[in-house]
Structure 1
Amino acid sequence: MFSVCIFGKRVIEMSERCGWVGVDAIYEAYHDTEWGVPEYDSRTLWEKLILDGFQAGLSWITILKKRDNFRAAFQGFDPDIIARWGEDDVLRLLADPGIIRHRGKIEATIGNARAWQRIEIDKGFDRYLWDFVGGKPIQNRWATLADVPAYTDLSVEISKDLKRKGFKFCGPTIVYAFMQAMGMVNDHLVTCPCHAQVAKLAR
C-alpha cells in the first residue's frame, strides 16, 4: 500500500511510515499530510486541543472518523460561539450519535472556549503556545516508537499552565499528543520520510 506525501513528490511506502499508523486510509492521510505539521492558527490549535481531549481513553482513529461530525456539531469549532453555550446545548450534544457523548468532555469544551477567549484577547492563543518553545518546533530524532515519550517535562509545564487558565481535559499526556499533532515537536521517526519534510516547515 502506498500514499503520496504532501510534502514531496516521492511516495511513502507503508513500511516507512511511523509505526503507529494503521492500514486505514484516513490514518495514512492524517500521518502523511497533517500530523506534526507546524500549526500557527489560533482557532485551529484550539480545535486540535479539544479533539485530543475527546480522545482520552479512546483510539485516535475513532476521533478521526468522527471529526467531520464534531465540526458540524460544534459549529466549526468556533470558540466564540461555543463560549455562549449552556445546558440546552450540552443536552443537544449528548443526543448526537455522531460524536463522543461524554458530558464531562462536552462541558469542558464550553469552559475551554471561554478560557481560549481570555488567552486570545491577552496575547493570542497561537503566540501563547509557541512561546513555550521560543516559536520554533523541537526537532526530535527518535529511532523507534519505544523511544517516543508519553509526556515530557514541557508537556507537564504546559498542562499545568492551561489548567491555571481554566482548561480541562489537558493532562500532560493529552498535551504531549497535542504538541505532536500541532507540530510543536517533530516526532516522526527519523526513518519516516515525513521527518525531514516537517522539519523544513519550521518558521
Structure 2
Amino acid sequence: MERCPWCLGNEIYMKYHDEEWGVPVHVDRKHFEFLVLESAQAGLNWLTILKKRENYREAYDNFDFEKVALYDESKVEELMQNSGIIRNRRKIEASINNARCFINVRKEFGSFDSYIWSFVDNKPVVTHWDDISQVPASTQLSDTVSRDLKKRGFKFLGTVIVYSHLQATGLINDHLSSCFRSLGQVGK
C-alpha cells in the first residue's frame, strides 16, 4: 500500500493521513477543531500539533465553539499556563475570537459547513499530483477563502493555513496519484 511520502516514518502522521486528511468534513465542531489546530500550527510543524491534539481537546471543551466564544481573560490566563498546548497569547486570543466569528457565520449560513463548502460548489477539488513537490502551499481558492474569513473578523487564518484547513477537511484532495487514498486509487 503506497502513501503520500510526507507521512512516512511516523505512526501519528500515517494514522492522520490514512483516516482523516482529505476526508470530507460536514460537522461544524470538527471544522472548528481544525480551525483552532491549524491556526495554532502557524509557524510550527503539524506533527507538533497532532501530538498535542488531545490536550487541545481537553483545554478547549472538546472544541465546543459556543463555550469557547464565552472564554474570558481568566480563561486565557489558564490556557497560557497549560503546557499541553501552544502557549501563544495571540493564538489563544485568536481562537476565542474565531469561535465568536464562527457562530456569526453559522447564523448567516445555517452552518459553517454550508459556508465553507460553498467555495467549492459542495464537491471536493480533486488534484492529480504525481510528486509531493507539485502540491502547493496555497492557491487562488485559499486566497479567496482567507480574504473572506478575514473580512468576517477571523484571525490567524492566512492563505497557507486556510489551504491546510481545506486539505484537512477534504475540500481539497491532495493525495498523490500513487497514494491509496487518492480518489483514483480508492477501491483498487
TM-score with structure 1 setting the length: 0.89
- Map 1:135-146 to 2 at 5 A: 135-146=122-133
- How well do the aligned residues superpose, as a CA RMSD in angstroms? 1.3
Q: Across the two proteins, how many residue pairs are aligned to each other?
A: 186
Structure 2 residues without counterparts, runs of 5 or longer: none
* Identity rate, percent: 46
1:131 paired residue number: 118
Please tell me whether the aligned partners of residues 36 and 187 of structure 1 are also in contact (alpha carbons under 8 angstroms).
yes
- Map 1:28-177 to 2 at 5 A: 28-123=14-109, 124-177=111-164
Q: Distance in 2 between matches of 1:198 and 1:160?
A: 34
Cα-to-partner distance string for 1:50-80 (whole Å, 9 max, x where unaligned): 1011011111111111000000000001110
Moved over 3 A (4+): 197-200
Please tell me whether the aligned partners of residues 151 and 173 of structure 1 are also in contact (alpha carbons under 8 angstroms).
yes
Cα-to-partner distance string for 1:57-112 (whole Å, 9 max, x where unaligned): 11111111100000000000111001111110000000000000000000000000
| 1:17 shift after superposition | 1.1
Q: Distance in 1 between matches of 2:26 and 2:122?
A: 10
Structure 1 residues without counterparts, runs of 5 or longer: 1-11
Please tell me whether the aligned partners of residues 36 and 198 of structure 1 are also in contact (alpha carbons under 8 angstroms).
no
Please tell me whether the aligned partners of residues 127 and 172 of structure 2 are also in contact (alpha carbons under 8 angstroms).
yes
Q: Alpha carbons of 1:146 and 1:119: their partners in 2 closer, same or farther (altered >3 Å)?
A: same
Cα-to-partner distance string for 1:106-141 (whole Å, 9 max, x where unaligned): 000000000001011111100000000100000100
Please tell me whether the aligned partners of residues 142 and 187 of structure 1 are also in contact (alpha carbons under 8 angstroms).
yes
Query: Which residue among 176, 182, 191 is the counterpart of 2:178?
Result: 191
| Secondary structure, aligned partner of 1:195 | coil
Please tell me whether the aligned partners of residues 35 and 181 of structure 1 are also in contact (alpha carbons under 8 angstroms).
yes
TM-score with structure 2 setting the length: 0.96
Q: Distance in 1 between matches of 2:21 and 2:49?
A: 14
| 1:169 shift after superposition | 0.6
Please tell me whether the aligned partners of residues 37 and 198 of structure 1 are also in contact (alpha carbons under 8 angstroms).
no
| 1:189 shift after superposition | 0.1
